[in-house]
């Protein structure tokens, strides 16, 4: 059963005529880990931002059904409450907003949107401490402002912490491997793998096969010029690694 169905998605940069997504079609099955690979400028990050609802892009056609409901007319917070999560390629630093305040605001906002009571503070602290420990996030990092003073790897781990607390239906990981050393990559991948479930899907956007050694995809899609031009099993990632994108793009053309 498909959890995320993107049909004929066309989008451009809001203030320009430059179209980035050109009628993109993509179906993500429930429980599936789908890798999206593609050369620079193919529209990978745009896809993730358009799905998350960033203002800088304008959707000109198409729909994106999450569990049967089109999320494109929704505000970013509504999409999050509907079960979408984007792990940012470059997580933002928010000076003055404490990490715990931020996490609690996010958890409670989503709970409220779903008609649930707010989480009790002791339960919240216990939950965060537990998940943080699994990701090697120390108490000092939880005491700081969001991402302020975090290394690149710490920021990425912090994204995974947020994902694990918010328990989305669909998580998009936008080049989560960029800027990570092997040890950090392993921690992040383990965090993702712990969350794999028949009910949850992942869209793993990456340039490189390396991340896919640790987060094994069920399916690999190749994005080029704003469209999925080829889909296949995990072996497709290896083929790309060996032959480069040019070869695949040429064959598809």
Question: Which residues bind to other proteins, rule: CB under 8 A?
Answer: 52-55, 75-77, 79-81, 85-86, 88, 91-92, 94-97, 101-102, 105-106, 109-110, 113, 145, 162, 166
- List helix spans (H) across 135-180: 139-143, 152-166
Q: Is the Cβ of residue 73 or residue 95 nearer to other proteins in the bound state? A: 95
Residue 86: CB minimum distance to other proteins, A: 6
Nearest distance from residue 195's CB to other proteins, in Å? 16
Q: How far apart are CA 143 and CA 205, in angstroms?
A: 30
| Strand pairing category for 145-146 and 94-98 | antiparallel
Contact between residue 200 and residue 171 where contact means Cβ atoms under 8 Å apart: yes
CA distance 23 to 35: 19
Please state the closest distance from residue 226 (CB atom) to other proteins, in A: 21
Q: What's the CA gap between 212 and 206, in Å, rounded?
A: 9
| 147-176 as b/e: b if 16+ CB within 10 A | bbebeebbbbbbbbbbbbbbebbbbbbbbb
Q: In the numeric block, which tokens belong to residue 43?
A: 């529209």
Task: State the number of CA atoms in the 13 A half-sphere of 118 facing the CB.
Answer: 9
- Cβ-based nearer residue to other proteins, 29 or 93: 93
For residue 94, CA distances in Å to 40, 147, 194 come to 28, 7, 28
Least separation in angstroms between CB 82 and other proteins? 9
Q: Shortest Cβ distance from residue 99 to other proteins (Å)?
A: 12
Minimum distance of other proteins from residue 241's CB (angstroms): 31
Task: Please say which residue, 28 or 52, places its beta carbon nearer to other proteins.
Answer: 52
Minimum CB separation from other proteins for residue 77, in Å?
5
Q: Which residue number, 24 or 84, has a Cβ lying nearer to other proteins?
A: 84
For other proteins, which is the closer residue by CB, 12 or 227?
12
Closest alpha carbon to 131 in 75, 80, 195, 77:
195
Closest CB to other proteins among residues 20, 172: 172
Q: Which is nearer to other proteins, 54 or 230 (CB)?
A: 54
CA 127 distance to own-chain centroid? 22
Separation of alpha carbons 33 and 171, rounded Å: 10
């Amino acid at each position: 059963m498909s959890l995320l169905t993107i049909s004929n998605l066309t989008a451009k940069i809001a203030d320009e005529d430059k179209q980035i997504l050109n009628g993109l079609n993509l179906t993500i099955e429930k429980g599936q880990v789908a890798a999206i690979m593609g050369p620079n400028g193919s529209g990978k990050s745009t896809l993730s931002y358009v799905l998350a609802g960033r203002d800088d892009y304008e959707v000109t056609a198409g729909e994106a059904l999450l569990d049967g409901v089109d999320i494109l007319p929704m505000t970013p917070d509504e999409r999050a409450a509907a079960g979408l999560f984007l792990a940012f390629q470059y997580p933002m630093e928010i000076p003055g907003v404490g990490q715990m305040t931020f996490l609690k605001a996010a958890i409670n906002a989503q709970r409220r949107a779903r008609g649930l009571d707010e989480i009790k503070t002791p339960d919240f602290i216990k939950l965060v401490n537990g998940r943080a420990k699994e990701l090697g996030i120390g108490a000092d990092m939880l005491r700081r402002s969001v991402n302020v003073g975090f290394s690149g790897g710490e920021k990425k781990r912090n994204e995974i912490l947020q994902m694990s607390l918010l328990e989305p239906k669909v998580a998009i990981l936008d080049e989560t491997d960029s800027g990570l050393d092997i040890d950090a990559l392993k921690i992040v991948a383990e965090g993702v793998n712990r969350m794999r479930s028949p009910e949850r899907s992942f869209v793993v956007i990456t340039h490189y096969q390396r991340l896919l050694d640790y987060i094994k995809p069920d399916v690999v899609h190749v994005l080029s010029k704003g469209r999925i031009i080829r889909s296949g099993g995990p072996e497709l990632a290896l083929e790309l690694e060996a032959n480069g994108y040019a070869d695949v793009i040429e064959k598809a053309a």
